[in-house]
Chains A and B, each alone.
Chain A
Amino acid sequence: MLSPCRTVTSLLLRPASRLPLRLGSDGRAASSLPKEMIKKYELEKDECRPLYMDFQATTPMDPRVLDAMLPFQVNYYGNPHSKTHAYGWESESAMETARKQVADLIGADPREIIFTSGATESNNMAIKGVARFYKTKKRHVITTQTEHKCVLDSCRVLESEGFSITYLPVMPNGLLDLELLEASIRPDTSLLSVMTINNEIGVEQPIKEIGQICRSKGVFFHTDAAQAVGKIPVNVTDSKIDLMSISGHKLYGPKGVGALYVRRRPRVRLEPLQNGGGQERGLRSGTVPTPLAVGLGAACSIAQYELEYDHRRVSMLANRLVQKIMSELPDVIMNGDAERRYPGCVNLSFAYVEGESLLMALKDVALSSGSACTSASLEPSYVLRAIGTDEDLAHSSIRFGIGRFTTEEEVDYTAEKCIHQVNRLREMSPLWEMVQEGIDLKSIKWTQH
């Protein structure tokens, strides 16, 4: 194999050198160059960056989003809550347009959208807020074991405040058992929190059915839809969702902004986490960052426009990747349900290969073994353990994230490189040798003493 910089990255970047004013590749006279050439040099510094295949961790911002945000970073800098002058009014009107764009994407009323700093804050607000508001009568909260860390951690905090929490297990395909859910609801249950699309294995929970159950039992339904909004159609009315968390940087918007949907009819009430000037209907005090809110709005409106096109393309690329890897490598397991899933999140376990060493071997492709929050530790993912994946397979899993800006070439390169490296690592592995000789690894007692 050639070095990555000489193979794919430079091949892919080559068309950029066909810019109108080409001055040769050594670029001695960089200071006297026109704007486009300077831009090109800035980017060539990063020419050897890996390919990006981790769209679940974050997404690059869409140029159209930046285009919408830029005026609010420089010219229109008014505080959107200033009522006494034009600077405030123009910011406010931009913020309200953004609110409407977010609401339109999920079928809500603009008044039901609250801007936050991201999905983590939205989740914290929803879970702690609702549980604390209704704590005199209801002291039980239900969630699942495969939730994002911020949901689980908020629940831990509630537990220390005296609430009782049920962490529901999921079925081996990653989906929630609806009968079990129904049986777990108690008269004093205030809230159920289930994520729409899992960030690690990409399974899509039956949100409509869950919403139906919650509504009939009088339990508020919160869903963490950070991975779902803008990728699949989500409608809060159809699915009877009471609270929903949205993240800006998962749908090609800016980082540092998110939203929480809070239903007005029937009204959901929550205790604010942050107190102060009473912005956002008193639920989230603090000045709304206009440029970020505008960016989130633009990202939502683009996502709405591009949803079908993106989904078709992401499905095609994901199929291409999975087909290619599965057809050339034996013993590859896809984690999570095969049907009810978002195609852009492919989680594969390569048996007899250690996930971390595969990630290191694939250093020219930006991949991860699971959530970015836990990627620093070598522990296998708790999501994979919750769906009953064996310890050894959980250690060998890799998540491929495909998004709007992924190309066919990138997918092909990743698949080829992955096949090559898995074969190489397996050849080195004594376990693989034993399996080829027909020894059942499960029958071996590893500890001798």
Chain B
Amino acid sequence: MAASSRTQVISLYRMMLMESKKFPSYNYRTYALRRVRDAFRANRTEKDPKTVERLMVEGRQTLALIQRQ
């Protein structure tokens, strides 16, 4: 479980960065990249599976939001 979750997190992270790069406007693009990186870094030591799950749901919603831009 833990291992698959780790790959899931990394894949979400990569997807979010990739999509963030598509913001045409400089300020929004740099903000999105910075915010995604900082959010993942801030929670990298998170152990509680419930919190990780909640963060993953939030992350997926944000990813969808970035894709809609």
| A interface residue numbers (CB < 8 A to B) | 12-13, 15-16, 18-19, 36, 39-40, 42-43, 52, 60, 63-64, 67, 309, 404-407
- Determine if A404 and B31 form an interchain contact, defined as CB atoms under 8 angstroms apart: yes
- Determine if B21 and A60 form an interchain contact, defined as CB atoms under 8 angstroms apart: no
CB distance from B43 to the nearest CB of A (A): 13
Tally B residues with Cβ within 8 Å of A: 18
How far is B36's CA from A63's CA once the two chains are assembled, in angstroms?
14
Q: A36-B24, A63-B65 are in contact. List 4 more A-B contacts (CB 8 A).
A: A36-B22, A39-B24, A404-B31, A407-B27
- Determine if A60 and B27 form an interchain contact, defined as CB atoms under 8 angstroms apart: yes
Question: Are A16 and B28 also in contact (CB < 8 A) when A64-B65, A67-B68, A67-B69 are?
Answer: no
CB distance from B22 to the nearest CB of A (A): 6
How far is B65's CA from A219's CA once the two chains are assembled, in angstroms?
46
Q: Which of A12, A19, A64, A405 contacts B22 (CB 8 A)?
A: A19
How far is B27's CA from A16's CA once the two chains are assembled, in angstroms?
11
B46 contacts partner chain A, Cβ-Cβ < 8 Å: no
| B interface residue numbers (CB < 8 A to A) | 21-32, 35, 38, 65-66, 68-69
Q: Write 7 A-B pairs (CB below 8 A) sorted by A numbering.
A: A15-B29, A16-B29, A36-B22, A43-B24, A309-B38, A407-B27, A407-B30
Which chain B residue shows the least CB distance to A47? B26
- Determine if A43 and B27 form an interchain contact, defined as CB atoms under 8 angstroms apart: no
List residues of chain B with CB within 8 A of the CB of A40. Answer: 24
- Determine if A16 and B26 form an interchain contact, defined as CB atoms under 8 angstroms apart: yes
How far is B32's CA from A311's CA once the two chains are assembled, in angstroms?
17
- Determine if B65 and A15 form an interchain contact, defined as CB atoms under 8 angstroms apart: no
Question: Which of A15, A39, A405: most chain B Cβ within 10 A?
Answer: A405
CB distance from A51 to the nearest CB of B (A): 9
- Determine if B69 and A63 form an interchain contact, defined as CB atoms under 8 angstroms apart: yes
Question: Which of A63, A67, A309, A404: most chain B Cβ within 10 A?
Answer: A63
List residues of chain A with CB within 8 A of the CB of B38. Answer: 309
CB distance from A8 to the nearest CB of B (A): 10
Q: Which of A13, A36, A309 contacts B26 (CB 8 A)?
A: A13
- Determine if A405 and B21 form an interchain contact, defined as CB atoms under 8 angstroms apart: no
Which chain B residue shows the least CB distance to A20? B22
CB distance from A248 to the nearest CB of B (A): 19
Q: Which of B26, B28, B65 contacts A67 (CB 8 A)?
A: B65
List residues of chain A with CB within 8 A of the CB of B29. Answer: 15-16
Question: Are A16 and B65 also in contact (CB < 8 A) when A404-B31, A405-B31, A407-B30 are?
Answer: no
